[in-house]
Structure 1
Amino acid sequence: MYVAVKGGERAIDNAHAWLAEERRGDPAVPDLGMDQIREQLRLAVNRVMAEGSLYDPDLAALAIKQARGDLIEAVFLIRAWRTTLPRLGASVPVETAGMAVDRRISATFKDLPGGQVLGPTFDYTHRLLDFALAAEGLPPPAPTAPATPGPVPHVMGFLNRDGLIEPAAGDEGAPPDLTRTPLELPACRALRLQALARGDEGFILSLAYSTQRGYGRTHAFVGELRIGRVAVEVEIPELGFAVEIGEVELTECETVNQFTGSRSEPPQFTRGYGLVFGQSERKAIAMSLVDRALRWKELGEDYTGAPAQDEEFVLAHCDNIQATGFLEHIKLPHYVDFQAELELIRRLRAEAAQVQAQEAAE
């Protein structure tokens, strides 16, 4: 047994060395710097920060480099690092109406105070490979226009002014922290939104797509999608007021959904909400659609059996780290379990062969 353990350790050490060699790639090719990943692969960095629940572009870039571009592995690394950090305090809720927006669009109103800001997006580009990007020594791009200064009012305020949309949720106190306490079902909306924000983008996207195809009956309009930077403030007890300690980039999406009304509520529009670290608009839109689908009970709607309406199904399976751990654990040794299964199959086959022999003899 001791020899087997030592042999296993040597094999693992060799695997680590091989991994480091593969990570570096051809030594003749310049090493990829963290600053290059942070600045030129920003959308990947944003996804790792969002699903890792840690806003730190430098650490996210390091995780992507260490994981060889495997974003789920990078998220795992960020979450593991996050658990080692001391918790010094809690910030006050950010005010997204004061966002300095880089991108702000609405599919419901053409003319908005502050205007439609197209911003940096693939929406208006041709999906053709740009071979100019493969050329070396390209001149830097021209400077972009500065972000629109805040505050920029939310589009939902126009509908709320006439009572055509459900009012925004009131202050329900400090929400529970999903990173510190296990998820319990049924979950409040604040916990659901945390789980969706940390959830795998592909999984949330598929669920959102299913609602658009009829599995959840949510026909949504993008009331507003905005991307920009907001100030982060922390209240200092000794001072008696909040102090700005930095800023973060966020993507916020509010969808407008149909609602036929109930016995207590008149027909009106309802809301779906998504908020994600960085520029992650696909995730934010998908999150808002799934959020609305999960609200069927509180809105008095019928449960149609759609996956996006099933809170336990959505929240228990959207976390890619939990899913990866459970999936990949089957790679670990299961020798004893398999031998038991193998012995069972052999015994059953022997019994079946014996029965067949008896029937043939009769």
Structure 2
Amino acid sequence: MYVAVKGGEAAILATHDLVAEARRGDAAVPELAVAQIREQMGLACARVMNEGSLYDPDLAALALKQAQGDAIEAAFLMRAYRTTLPRFGSTEPVDTAKMAIRRRVSATYKDLPGGQVLGPTYDYTHRLFDFALMDDEPQRDPSSAPTGHLLPQGEKDRAPLDAFMPRVPDILGAEGLMEAEVPPEGDPRPFDLTREPIAFPADRDVRLQAMARGDEGFMLGLGYSVQRGFGNTHPFVGEIRVGEVSVEFVPEELGFAVDLGEITLTECQMVNQFAGSKEVPPQFTRGYGLSFGHSERKAMSMSLVDRALKSREFGEATEYPAQQDEFVLYHSDNVEAAGFVEHLKLPHYVDFQGELELIRRIRREREQRLARENEPLPEAAE
């Protein structure tokens, strides 16, 4: 470490006080409470939970406060804490078909069974500053808020949602137009990349895990790349749904599932065309994304890259970065990437001195060689 810095360990410890001072900011401004961050910065908390691989809105809010809003540092805090937690087992697979819908849209069917539910979204805002937010907001009655459910003209906004909301890929699958997804033979326990090293080529369960906790910006860039320049994909959003699902766990001593509670999830299923092959008829294929909290951009990006990574399975050429599982999985982890980049700030005195001496020696040799080349030739003897 920086032992040569004036003050040594005391100087390093003093940086902790400076961080706390910078984090607090102007003492005249009221301090943010963790509950305020959790309730009013829910999208940021969702990102931290995803990239930190831990669903806990309170801890995500605390991590954001402690990290001054730095999402990567907050995710690092979440992962570090996660390693201290005991593991009791694996929960049952969540059933997103039974999700308590908060938002649900599809770009493939206008008259979707169950209807389109706009819910809370920035999609229809004007991206203009609301300067009223700089003042204290008036209290609103939550019961007066509309649902955003698309209804026939004249009906009230707060009509109850349909209990039956089939997923779009399931509708296409009923016609045999969507690729079937079945568990691997024997339905083995999914790979756990937090406990085992990744090997390539990676199976889909590994890929989905890595992307679920991958950096949102990196995943967004890869998803963008498959639609232009480095890909030829232009899929349809089969469905995006946001809502709450039950998490169940089967204790060994009981032998039956116990409901642990509900978590908020965002699910995206992209619909892609596939021309078929000798073995497979023309059909639609899917890209899948599932993320904690309300995080549509992450789920959409993940589903785009998921389909790109399935190219080998369909006999397609793998020519682009988003189709290379080694490139995607190794570089999508922002905590690991940040550590590798930021380690350059640590002392490299010996390494640099070695390179410095090398450059000096090369320059001396070059100057000597040029000097010899520029020496006048001796006069010829008469």
RMSD: 1.8
Question: What is the distance in 2 between the residues matched to 1:66 and 1:2?
Answer: 24
Name the counterpart of 2:67. 67
**Aligned ranges for residues 270-281 of structure 1 at < 5 Å?**
270-281=285-296
- The alignment status of 1:30 with 2:36, answered yes or no, reads no
**Aligned ranges for residues 12-91 of structure 1 at < 5 Å?**
12-91=12-91
- The alignment status of 1:264 with 2:283, answered yes or no, reads no
- The alignment status of 1:206 with 2:229, answered yes or no, reads no
Name the counterpart of 1:250. 265
Name the counterpart of 1:298. 313
Question: What is the distance in 2 between the residues matched to 1:111 and 1:216?
Answer: 31
Question: What is the distance in 1 between the residues matched to 2:2 and 2:223?
Answer: 52
Between stretches 67-76 and 10-19, larger displacement belongs to 10-19
Question: What is the distance in 2 between the residues matched to 1:242 and 1:136?
Answer: 46
Between stretches 2-11 and 317-326, larger displacement belongs to 2-11
Q: Deviations over 1:285-311 (max 9, x none)?
A: 0100000001010011122x2111111
Question: What is the distance in 2 between the residues matched to 1:150 and 1:335?
Answer: 65
SS in 1 for 2:250: strand
8 Å CA contact retained: 1:100, 1:151: no
8 Å CA contact retained: 2:216, 2:298: yes
SS in 2 for 1:86: coil
Question: What is the distance in 2 between the residues matched to 1:123 and 1:8?
Answer: 52
Question: What is the distance in 2 between the residues matched to 1:2 and 1:79?
Answer: 26
- The alignment status of 1:197 with 2:230, answered yes or no, reads no
SS in 2 for 1:255: strand
Give the AA of the match of 2:32: L
How does the TM-score come out when normalised to structure 1?
A: 0.96
Tell me which of 336, 341, 365 is aligned to 1:327.
341
SS in 2 for 1:233: strand
Q: Compared with structure 1, are the counterparts of its residues 3 and 94 closer, same or farther at alpha carbon in structure 2 (3 Å cutoff)?
A: closer
Question: What is the distance in 2 between the residues matched to 1:359 and 1:341?
Answer: 27
Measure how far apart 1:149 and its partner are.
6.9
Q: Compared with structure 1, are the counterparts of its residues 33 and 267 closer, same or farther at alpha carbon in structure 2 (3 Å cutoff)?
A: same
8 Å CA contact retained: 2:105, 2:240: yes
Name the counterpart of 1:162. 175
Between stretches 110-119 and 96-105, larger displacement belongs to 110-119
Question: What is the distance in 2 between the residues matched to 1:151 and 1:178?
Answer: 35
Give the AA of the match of 1:176: F
8 Å CA contact retained: 2:242, 2:264: yes
SS in 1 for 2:122: coil
Question: What is the distance in 2 between the residues matched to 1:70 and 1:2?
Answer: 24
Give the AA of the match of 1:359: E
Measure how far apart 1:173 and its partner are.
2.3
Give the AA of the match of 1:326: F
Name the counterpart of 1:240. 255
8 Å CA contact retained: 1:97, 1:150: no
Between stretches 140-149 and 185-194, larger displacement belongs to 140-149
Q: Compared with structure 1, are the counterparts of its residues 141 and 48 closer, same or farther at alpha carbon in structure 2 (3 Å cutoff)?
A: farther
Give the AA of the match of 1:352: R
8 Å CA contact retained: 2:114, 2:164: no
Tell me which of 349, 356, 360 is aligned to 2:370.
356
Tell me which of 317, 320, 327 is aligned to 2:331.
317
8 Å CA contact retained: 2:114, 2:163: no
Question: What is the distance in 2 between the residues matched to 1:3 and 1:157?
Answer: 62
Runs (5+) with no aligned partner, structure 1: none
Measure how far apart 1:331 and its partner are.
0.2
SS in 2 for 1:61: helix
8 Å CA contact retained: 1:99, 1:149: no
- Give the number of the structure whose alpha-carbon radius of gyration is greater: 2
How does the TM-score come out when normalised to structure 2?
A: 0.91
Name the counterpart of 1:105. 105
Question: What is the distance in 1 between the residues matched to 2:355 and 2:239?
Answer: 55
Q: Deviations over 1:135-155 (max 9, x none)?
A: 114223643348847553111
Give the AA of the match of 1:155: V
Measure how far apart 1:215 and its partner are.
1.8
Give the AA of the match of 2:52: G
Q: Compared with structure 1, are the counterparts of its residues 192 and 360 closer, same or farther at alpha carbon in structure 2 (3 Å cutoff)?
A: same
Measure how far apart 1:110 and its partner are.
1.0
8 Å CA contact retained: 1:99, 1:151: no
Between stretches 168-177 and 253-262, larger displacement belongs to 168-177
8 Å CA contact retained: 1:296, 1:302: yes
Measure how far apart 1:217 and its partner are.
2.0
Question: What is the distance in 1 between the residues matched to 2:3 and 2:247?
Answer: 55
Name the counterpart of 1:286. 301
Question: What is the distance in 2 between the residues matched to 1:137 and 1:271?
Answer: 43
Name the counterpart of 1:92. 92
Give the AA of the match of 1:163: G
Question: What is the distance in 1 between the residues matched to 2:229 and 2:178?
Answer: 22
Runs (5+) with no aligned partner, structure 2: 148-157, 377-382
Identity %: 62
Q: Deviations over 1:167-213 (max 9, x none)?
A: 12335321111111121111100000000000000000000001111
8 Å CA contact retained: 2:105, 2:117: yes
Question: What is the distance in 2 between the residues matched to 1:14 and 1:233?
Answer: 47
- The alignment status of 1:182 with 2:164, answered yes or no, reads no
8 Å CA contact retained: 2:2, 2:8: no
